Amino acid sequence: MPNQTDNSIIKIFLPILNSALVADGFTNVVVQQSSQPTLQGINTKASIYFFKVSSKRYGFLGRNDRWNADNEEMEHVEKQYYESTWQLMSLVLQNPSTPNQYTASDLVDESASIMQSDQTRAILNDNGIGILRIQNISNPYFVDDRDNFEASPALEFTLVYLNSRVSNNNYFDTFQSGIFRI
């Protein structure tokens, strides 16, 4: 299995979120990476934004050598577990005239349920990724560009995966024994 990169991880969890939100009745929700390289203005649709918070090398670097019979070469393998933490945040413009509309907090709560579901865990595991935990959901408020209070709820989840590096080693192909004076 190839090493996990940020983009390969996004390609795995983004379709999970999109399809599960639609299946659970949260239609017309935009799920996209936060802090895009171009400014697009505020999204008027209900939105979930995500970004990587941190990456931590977990444990010690594993090192071993193995014989590759196909190439007849000695390979040096280094393996490292990583924990990467991602944050999801939501924005849903609230309007007092639509009191039955779901809120930004509802979207984040639903995202937490999706990310910790057995189906999500199975898909992640099939791709060599484990989900460790979902952190507490925060719900701070801010004043938007229309001088209205808007909620900006967020959650963090941590994924774990193994990356490895393989390099060819020089090895001894002949051995000459002898007794030498010191």
Supply 42's token pair: 């505020």
How much is the pTM?
A: 0.80
Q: What are the sequence ranges of the domains in the chain?
A: 6-168
pLDDT of residue 171: 57
Per-residue pLDDT of the chain (182 residues; tens, 9 = 90+): 678 999 999 999 999 999 999 999 998 898 988 876 666 666 778 899 999 999 999 888 888 888 888 877 888 889 999 999 999 999 888 777 877 888 899 999 999 999 999 999 999 999 999 998 888 888 888 887 777 788 889 999 999 999 988 887 665 566 677 888 87
- The CATH code for residues 6-168 is 3.30.2000
